[in-house]
Amino acid sequence: MSAPAPLPPLAPGALPLAGHFIAYRADPLAFLMSLAARGPIVGMRLGPIDAFLVREPEDIERVLVSEHRRFWKDRMTRGLGRILGDGLLTSEGDIWLRHRRLLAPAFHRERIATYGNDMALAAERFALAREPGEVRDLHADMMRLTLEIVAKALFASDVGPRAADVARALDVVVDRFGDGLITLFPWMEHLPLPDNRRTREAIATLDDVLLGVVRARRARGGGGSDLLSMLLAAEDDAGRGLSDREMRDELMTLFLAGHETTALALSYAFVLLSKHPDVEARLRAEIDETLGDALPTTENLARLPFARATILETLRLYPPAWAIGREAIEETSLGGYRIPKGTQLWISQWVNHRDARYFPEPERFLPERWLNGLERALPRFAYYPFGGGPRICIGNQFSLLEATIVLATILRRVRVRLLERRPPALSPMITLRPTGPIVVAYEPARKTALLRAPAPLVP
């Protein structure tokens, strides 16, 4: 009779009660990289939670694709249900499957392509509004720009100025739930703390705005070209659509995913280009040769392969979705190790995208690595900025289209010059955020205007 498979090895340095939580909190990304260096599956203890980091692409594929029914969302992700309700990110089972089927037509590739013109026009307005030498926070600017784009795509003109209220409220709840503390220690949510009060107020604002939009649109009736109209019209085989509350949950999830992640990708792309003028020069040459004085469109993006490669390489080095969590709902095995029921599994894009087996010189910014079929040659889960399997991000094509169009449009008009030599400090929360402003100066793309002295930083 064969001996049972062993548990994965536990990383050294676990403290009583806290486990590895203190080391993880000090630098989550470095901590995960140190675990990955110890083997294909390595254990960690984060307070009351035992988790394994899974590194090998074939094991990740089993978790996310071939054996995905053995796993559901991890404890930390399920904790986001207090914000996002039963949206696609947090729901499971029949609820998730029904919602996914109802939302899928709204995200068909041909449907997404129709938003390209609005994306380009919004980016062009942003670029034309920049003053020579103006100093601003790049991340805040990209957040405002992608907010305008996603609000237009989701709601047409229904949200208007209240889109900013949604963005501010989401920012509050992401800050509160993003570091995992409340998930690890749920009792903290009930303490009489200012952060808890602000979080409750933010969730109330989200409910007020999003439920108000849904109810007003239902009352008005009629069709429309935005995603909200398509979702309101969608019905399952039994003729049932999404309830107001279900609509609120999905809109909030789409708002978060479609707004913040693309803003982060664009922010990091401009940072990398500023630090690599040779890459920026090559990209500008492609844009000038392909577009001339025209705006990019969905149709001509195929003639901007280096622009797409720049976005892909940015997503490799700075994946906005930097980790995925799952929980084993039955005992199973991975990589020759036993995975007990209830075990938390962590899968990290930050880790896998820096694997030198697949990406030589992994810390270097080399968009050209994507120009010769690398995507097709890689193992399926060596590179997965949008996740994978049945639960791959439903808005991945929207995000790629938006990032590429906005990057090309802005670069036609503006050069973004980073004023801080060091890379931005990172805060791995729900998304991979910078810890503070990314201060840049905006300058004309072509030296045809006399630059003024830098203006003060604009919030």
Alpha helices in 156-276 (DSSP H): 162-177, 181-184, 194-220, 227-233, 244-275
pLDDT of residue 156: 72
- Express as a percent the part of the chain with pLDDT over 90: 53
Q: Residue 376 region, left (φ>0) first, then alpha (ψ -120 to 50), else beta?
A: alpha
Q: State how far the Cα of 195 lies from the Cα of 216, in Å rounded to an integer.
A: 31
Q: State how far the Cα of 398 lies from the Cα of 74, in Å rounded to an integer.
A: 26
- Express as a percent the part of the chain with pLDDT over 70: 91
Q: At what angle do helices 305-317 and 396-413 cross, to 10 degrees?
A: 110
Give the H/E segment covering residue 417.
strand 414-418
Q: Is the alpha carbon torsion for 179, 389, 143, 363 positive or negative?
A: positive
Q: Could you tell me the pLDDT band of residue 248, with boundaries at 50, 70 and 90?
A: confident
Q: 102-135, pLDDT tens digit by residue?
A: 888 888 888 888 889 999 999 999 999 999 999 9
Query: Higher model confidence: residue 304 or residue 241?
Result: 304
The pair of structure tokens assigned to 116 is: 């390209």
User: Which residue type sits at 24?
Assistant: Y
Q: State how far the Cα of 431 lies from the Cα of 447, in Å rounded to an integer.
A: 36
Average pLDDT over residues 17-29: 93
pLDDT of residue 84: 77
Separation in Å, CA 131 to CA 177, 315, 445, 457: 37, 29, 12, 12
> Do β-strands 324-328 and 134-137 pair in parallel, antiparallel, or remain unpaired?
unpaired
Name every residue whose Cβ is closer than 8 Å to that of residue 394 and which is 6 or more positions away in sequence. 88, 100, 103, 104, 107
Scanning the structure block, which residue is given the tokens 């109810």?
215
Q: Which of 1-15, 77-91, 103-117, 308-322 has the highest mean pLDDT?
A: 308-322
Average pLDDT over residues 127-155: 91
pLDDT at 26 over 60: yes
Q: Is 103 exposed, middle or buried (0-12, 13-18, 19+ CB in 10 A)?
A: buried
Average pLDDT over residues 338-345: 94
Q: 368-405, pLDDT tens digit by residue?
A: 999 999 999 999 999 999 999 888 888 888 999 999 99
pLDDT at 162 over 80: no
Query: Higher model confidence: residue 309 or residue 92?
Result: 309
Fill in the DSSP letter of residue 333. E
Q: State how far the Cα of 216 lies from the Cα of 211, in Å rounded to an integer.
A: 8
Write a three-state SS string for 45-85.
Answer: EECCEEEEEECCHHHHHHHHHHCHHHEEECHHHHHCHHHHC
For the chain, give the mean pLDDT.
87
Q: Could you tell me the pLDDT band of residue 171, with boundaries at 50, 70 and 90?
A: confident
Fill in the DSSP letter of residue 325. E
Q: Is the alpha carbon torsion for 372, 376, 380, 383 positive or negative?
A: positive
Average the pLDDT over each of 112-121, 208-217, 416-425 and give the range with the smallest value: 208-217
The pair of structure tokens assigned to 2 is: 């064969």
pLDDT of residue 452: 35
Angle at 120 between CA 392 and CA 168, to 5 degrees: 65
The pair of structure tokens assigned to 286 is: 């492609």
